[in-house]
Amino acid sequence: MADDKTVRQTKGGFGASPVFFTAISTILGAILFLRFGYAIGAVGFWGAIIIIILGHLVTVPTALAISEIATNTRVEGGGEYFIISRSFGLKIGSTIGITLYLSQAISIAFYVVAFTEAFDPVFRWWSASFGFDMPRQAVGVPALIILAWLIMRKGADIGMKMLYIVNFILFLALFLFFIGPAIDPGGDLSRAPGNNFTLFNSDKIFVWFAICFPAFTGMTAGVGLSGDLKNPGKSIPLGTMAATATGFLVYLLVVWKLSASASQADLSEDQLIMARIAVFGSVIIPVGLAACTFSSALGSIMVAPRTIQALATDKSFPSQRINLFLSKGKGKSNEPVNATLLSFAIALVFVMIGNVDMVAQIISMFFLITYGTLCLISFINHFGSPPSYRPRFKSKWYFSLGGFLLSVWLMFMINPLYTIVAYIFIAAVYLFVEHYNKDEKGLADIFEGALFQLNRRLRVFMQKHKSSVSNEEWRPSAICISANSFERDKVLELMKWISHQHGFGTYFHYIEGYYSRQTYTESQKVLNQLIERQKGYGSALYIDTMISPSYTSAIAQVIQTPSISGMENNMVVFEYIQSNPEELTRIIDNINLAKAGNFDICIFAGSQYPVRNRFGIHVWIRETDEKNTNLMILLGFIIMAHPDWSRSQIKIFITSTRESDAVKEEIKERIAAGRLPITLANIEIIILAEGQTVSDVIRVHSKHAGLTLIGFREEIIKHDAMKFFSDFHGTGDILFVNASQYKEI
């Protein structure tokens, strides 16, 4: 199982500070310097505030979820991937891990492309001096090469050393920006600062949200250093939450400062508008932009290779050669050399594209999927309440659920087509991973705890609110016990039909003997075999085993067993084969035991013939079947809902000793009132000739029926029951029915 694996990566000695500084230098990065001025110019002050709030309504629950999950498990190399895979299992972990890695690798390119914008004065000088524009790639590609060389040569340590310098420059730039004066409009009132406070353009808010959202994703940048942290369970929550809170506050202040210091026209025309506001802005803002973008790119190129290295270490890819190549490390800290080369290659492709806005929107989609998944993990852990989930840092389930729902909603608001494509891509990757990792934890295992809690709460709720159920709400909750599960399986088919759509069924395989290690082992083996046989048939039947020293004690145990459906069992199904009527003895001996609990009784008499569904279900009604009539008709309707009977019909036979249209009219009214799919042509009255018995008529008319339903009264059990049940030889499968009380159709 993926939970038992460990990502073999040697721990470093970093604390919470690198997590904070890695995150904050990424949060307060390219988008802050290059695009928030444009965003305010496009959507106004309040529009920008909404973008910040929406972004943090996703990132804050994600930060809380990461902090929570990180304090519940031993976090190792791979950061967010490790958290996902150890919570969701290898299949889901690998699926999200691959998309996470791609978003991190593309982020390298994004920050390098943004880094080139710091050289805007150089590009303008070149254009003015030589008469043509220098391509941005002339700076971006060498910057990426230098970045990769630094990481390959120096490893993570160089990144940590640069972080402190970068953050000093970053906060100095912000300080000089905040104390800077407003832009002088020069007598042009249309360019007077402050008009942004009344502007709000909702039409473009999701476009600009997609462009600006990568600014907030930096809060998870420090999580990727998990393999190099001394105590990830402490450092990740502290560093991540501190960076998230600091980033939120700074963004609010920056939006206020930009709105108060520049006009809408100025904000919309100049991407480096902060340079015109800050003290020494023409120098400090480009330097700050270069420092934070280079640092963010450095952080991404440290994190992305470690994610895919962890994926390869977990053998997530189908090729052993690929896993070995990407998991290969160097030195005591296991630096991901080959994974870095791959990340560099992917980043190079997007650097060559060179469009900040396009790359930002791609990153937003990838990160929203990842963050939504992390929030979903946290919610499921809260709802499922597994005993092993004991985080030292605790969030609230509604924060996590809100973060998940909001991330999905935002993706659709940004671009529904891209959202659908993204989820199709996720599904395709999952199916690919599942194909090569069949034995690992998957989707069914993920929701097991949540489904357990949901089922438990529903059952308790139903028990507490149980009232006298009206007859019209009746539905079968049948139980059957048989020792002949492998010799004859027709009764399993019957139970499957009953429980398909309108009812619920529980089948017990009976093992005669006392409860012991030997009989328990046998019961588990039998149970697994029966479950395997039911797979692939779309069966809704619940299967279990029952160990008991006698058939009577087994019946007593079964009828007292609560139904897992949440409603009480109300029907007992016995079974025997017509060729061995001696089996009836023990059934007859135990009918009164079941009747003591007011159960409806069904006795299935299997024939030697295969099931002949196409010949339909025959329901036989006699003058003495007043209490049984509606139950037989309802059972016929319920069984007919199964696809096995899709080409069949229910036919009702009414036997009488005299001509009477009143009985037929009564049945017609019941069927019409109950809206049952039984036509009048399928209702037939049979007048018994003198000396002719009902069994004689049934043997003639229902010889080839797929299933024949016949009612019986309790008096029959007391008087010659063996003769009654054995008097239908030559007929196909029969279900004898006795209702405990009258049922409304």
Q: Please, which pLDDT band fits residue 575 given cuts at 50, 70 and 90?
A: very high
**pLDDT tens, residue by residue, 51-70:** 999 999 998 898 888 777 76
Query: Domain 607-733 is of which CATH architecture?
Result: 3-Layer(aba) Sandwich (3.40)
**Would you say 74 and 284 are in contact if contact means Cβ atoms under 8 Å apart?**
no
What stretches of 16-126 adopt beta strand conformation (E)? none
**179 Cβ contact list (under 8 Å, min separation 6):** 279
Q: What is the model's pLDDT at position 5?
A: 42
Q: What is the model's pLDDT at position 471?
A: 46
- Which fold would CATH assign to domain 2-183+191-446? Amino acid/polyamine transporter I (1.20.1740)
Q: What is the model's pLDDT at position 533?
A: 84
Q: Please, which pLDDT band fits residue 549 given cuts at 50, 70 and 90?
A: very high
Fill in the amino acid letter for 45: F
229 DSSP 8-state letter:
B
Q: Please, which pLDDT band fits residue 630 given cuts at 50, 70 and 90?
A: confident
Common-topology check for domains 478-604 and 607-733: yes
- Interior CA angle at 562 toward 561 and 565, to 5°? 135
Phi-psi region of 743 (alpha: psi -120 to 50; beta: other; left: phi over 0): beta
Residues of the chain above pLDDT 70, percent: 81
On average, the pLDDT of the chain sits at 81
**Statement: residue 10 has pLDDT above 50:** no
Q: What is the model's pLDDT at position 190?
A: 61
Between residues 558 and 672, the one the model is more confident about: 558
Between residues 526 and 237, the one the model is more confident about: 526
* Distance separating alpha carbons of residues 93 and 1, to the nearest angstrom: 12
Coil, strand or helix: which one is 527? helix
Q: What is the model's pLDDT at position 469?
A: 46
- Candidates 1.20.1070, 3.15.10, 3.40.50, 1.25.10; correct CATH number of 478-604? 3.40.50
For range 192-215, the mean pLDDT = 78
Going by C-alpha positions, the residue among 641, 650, 627, 612 that lies closest to residue 715 is: 627
Coil, strand or helix: which one is 523? helix
Q: What is the model's pLDDT at position 240?
A: 81
Q: What is the model's pLDDT at position 229?
A: 64
Q: Which long-range contacts (CB under 8 A, 24 or more apart) does 51-57 make?
A: 51/205, 51/208, 51/209, 51/212, 52/216, 52/248, 52/251, 52/252, 52/255, 54/209, 54/406, 54/410, 55/209, 55/212, 55/213, 55/215, 55/216, 56/216, 56/244, 56/248, 57/402, 57/403, 57/406
For range 336-363, the mean pLDDT = 81
**Statement: residue 666 has pLDDT above 90:** no
Lowest mean pLDDT among 385-399, 680-694, 706-720: 385-399
Q: What is the model's pLDDT at position 602?
A: 95
For range 398-427, the mean pLDDT = 87
Lowest mean pLDDT among 142-151, 277-286, 396-405, 509-518: 142-151
The dihedrals phi and psi of 49, each to the nearest 5 degrees, come to: -60, -40
Q: Please, which pLDDT band fits residue 8 given cuts at 50, 70 and 90?
A: very low
**Statement: residue 662 has pLDDT above 80:** no
**pLDDT tens, residue by residue, 170-198:** 889 999 999 999 887 766 666 666 666 77
Cα 57 vs. chain centroid, distance in angstroms? 21
For range 576-601, the mean pLDDT = 89
**376 Cβ contact list (under 8 Å, min separation 6):** 400, 404
Cα distances (Å, whole numbers) of residue 341 to 151, 538, 593: 10, 48, 75
Domain locations along the chain: 2-183+191-446, 478-604, 607-733
Going by C-alpha positions, the residue among 330, 324, 301 that lies closest to residue 311 is: 324
**Statement: residue 680 has pLDDT above 90:** no
User: Which of 126-130, 237-241, 295-299, 517-521 tops mean pLDDT?
Assistant: 517-521
For range 601-612, the mean pLDDT = 89
How many residues does the structure list for the chain? Answer: 745
273 DSSP 8-state letter:
T
Task: Mark out the alpha helices in 262-336 (DSSP H runs).
Answer: 264-269, 274-277, 281-313, 320-327
Q: What is the model's pLDDT at position 221?
A: 66
Lowest mean pLDDT among 20-24, 173-177, 222-226, 677-681: 222-226
**Statement: residue 6 has pLDDT above 50:** no
Write a three-state SS string for 164-202: HHHHHHHHHHHHHHHCCCCCCCCCCHHHCCCHHHHCCCH
**588 Cβ contact list (under 8 Å, min separation 6):** 717, 721, 722, 725
For range 126-143, the mean pLDDT = 83
**pLDDT tens, residue by residue, 267-278:** 888 888 888 899
11 DSSP 8-state letter:
-
- Interior CA angle at 617 toward 615 and 619, to 5°? 135
Going by C-alpha positions, the residue among 170, 192, 172 that lies closest to residue 182 is: 192
The dihedrals phi and psi of 661, each to the nearest 5 degrees, come to: -85, -15
Q: What is the model's pLDDT at position 709?
A: 95
**Would you say 650 and 678 are in contact if contact means Cβ atoms under 8 Å apart?**
yes
For range 685-690, the mean pLDDT = 81
Cα 664 vs. chain centroid, distance in angstroms? 53
Task: Mark out the alpha helices in 437-516 (DSSP H runs).
Answer: 443-446, 448-464, 490-498
User: Which of 162-166, 215-219, 545-549, 723-727 tops mean pLDDT?
Assistant: 545-549
**Statement: residue 569 has pLDDT above 70:** yes
User: Residue 428: how many CA atoms within 13 Å on its side-chain side?
Assistant: 7
Q: What is the model's pLDDT at position 3?
A: 43
The dihedrals phi and psi of 196, each to the nearest 5 degrees, come to: -75, -20
**Statement: residue 200 has pLDDT above 90:** no
